[in-house]
Amino acid sequence: MRCGIPFSTARLDRLLDDAGIDVLIVTSKHNIQYLLGGYYHFQFDYMEAIGISRYLPVLVYVKGALEKSAYIANRNERDSVRNRTSDGHWMPAVVFGSSTTVEAMALAVKHLKSVATSASRIGIEGSFLPADAADVLRKDFGHGRFVEAMRPLERLRAVKTAAELEVLREASERVVASMIDTVDQIRPGQSKREIIDHLRRAELSRDMIFEYGLVTLGTSLNRAPSEQRLAPGDVISLDSGGNYRGYIGDLCRMAVHGAPDGELLDLLGEIDLVQQAARVPIRAGLAGSGIYAAANEALAQSTHGKQMHFVAHGMGIVSHEAPRLTSSGPVPYPADDANEPLEAGMVISIETTLPHARGFIKLEDTTAVTADGYEAFGDSARGWNRISG
């Protein structure tokens, strides 16, 4: 990795070679953030600030020629870019002047024509490229061959640096701490909306951005916010994604009002056995499908295995990213990495769910692949956490 560059240009160039790409046109928020080392213009963090078009940052990357790369910035980004570079962070050449998707792509095309040849194969992110911007690109660079770039970019992000792993560790620990804080504060009679608000405030107090809270109460399996209220003796699942410095902490922990009875202890114990079994084989070099093989063996031996749902997926800047290990999970996508070896630095979320007559019972854990095993992040509070009052 070149000094000051937040990603490995050698790894990216190899991935682009494999995909048949000469030049990248990056337009997704998450890949812009990754390639620029965490930068994203604050004015468009939540909503479009203007309303006539969406905010479209564009990064043009030329394989093997980093010096030819350029970042196409909104006309309002000058101060943000100035602050970023004055703090010593790397940025490619910056072209200001866009306010709309069409203007942004027109500027990108102008730069592209100055650095690419007519035979260049252009990598695009089809799902993250607005139709009007795509029209500009195809009209003005129609002789180029367009190639989908989602896979090489997510494979680049899949192996985390030591600094990224530390942020993910912090994100995980802060989410779990926020859940325990929430359990300590909630009482019977409070609604799911109020409980989620507790969780939101707890994550915000830990310097996180609250992204979502999936909460169930009692015997209901409904995880959306509502006015349903916690009753005495209810079980509660807290599943939350909290963003810390651009990376996701995504875990699930269980709580119960009062003391858990023997059945509840057994049910969560069964889930934990599956979770632990799935972890055992994790190490660099293991085919990703090995995680599922271990989990499926544990499910086959579990009393409630046929009712349980198990899934393992990569995570980082995005909650579900490479390595992609299944095509039959709750979010359908190709199992592109199921038969590929895991690499040290990959981060995998492991989750087992049991929709039961006693309620929605689930554990979700975060594991980082190491050379000879794994390391779990935020691995506390995995039993029944007690709600008092």
Sign of the C-alpha dihedral, residues 21, 23, 27, 33? Answer: positive
The count of other CB atoms within 10 Å of the CB of residue 85 is 13
Encoded tokens for 74: 């909104």
**Token pair of 66, please?**
């980093």
Q: How many CB atoms lie within 10 A of CB 327?
A: 11
Residue 321 and residue 315 in contact, taking contact as beta carbons nearer than 8 Å: yes
Q: Which fold, 162-387?
A: Creatine Amidinohydrolase (3.90.230)
For residue 113, what are the contacts with CB-CB under 8 A and spacing of at least 6? 140, 141
Neighbouring residues of 22: CB distance < 8 A, sequence distance ≥ 6:
16, 62, 63, 116, 120, 121, 122, 123
What is the model's pTM? 0.95
- Architecture of domain 9-157 in CATH? 3-Layer(aba) Sandwich (3.40)
For the chain, give the mean pLDDT: 95
Cα distance from N-terminal residue to C-terminal residue, the chain:
54
Query: Which of 23, 31, 19, 232 has the alpha carbon at shortest distance from 111?
Result: 23
Q: What is the pLDDT of residue 1?
A: 39
User: Are the beta carbons of 264 and 359 closer than 8 angstroms?
Assistant: no
pLDDT in tens, 166-193: 999 999 999 999 999 999 999 999 999 9
Exposed (0-12), middle (13-18) or buried (19+): which is 91, by Cβ within 10 Å? middle
Asked whether the domain spanning 162-387 has the same topology as the one spanning 9-157, the reply is: no
Listed in sequence order, the residues at least 6 apart from 55 whose beta carbon sits closer than 8 Å to its beta carbon are 41, 44, 48, 49, 74
CB burial class (10 A; 0-12, 13-18, 19+) of residue 180?
middle
* 3 state SS of 336: coil
Q: Write down the pLDDT at residue 2.
A: 42
Nearest CA among 318, 365, 369 for reference residue 343:
369
Neighbours of 357 (CB within 10 A): 6
Question: What count of other Cβ atoms lies within 10 Å of the Cβ of residue 114?
Answer: 10
pLDDT for the residue numbered 325: 95
In this prediction, residue 51 carries a pLDDT of 78
d(CA 170, CA 172): 5
For 253-289, letters b (16+ CB in 10 Å) and e give bbbbbeebeeebeebbebbebbbbbbbebbbbebbbb
Domain ranges of the chain: 9-157, 162-387
Omega within 30 of 0 (cis) for the link into 57: no
What is the Cα–Cα distance from 280 to 303, expressed in whole angstroms?
Answer: 21
Cα torsion for 14, 20, 26, 29, to the nearest 10°? -70
Q: How much is the CA Rg of the chain, to the nearest whole Å? A: 23
- The pLDDT assigned to 329 comes to 80
Chain center to CA of 87: 26
pLDDT of residue 142: 77
What are the distances in angstroms from CA 268 to CA 254, 255, 264, 355, 356?
9, 11, 6, 12, 11
Regions of the chain where pLDDT drops below 50: 1-3
Answer left, alpha or beta for residue 312, where phi above 0 means left and psi between -120 and 50 means alpha.
beta
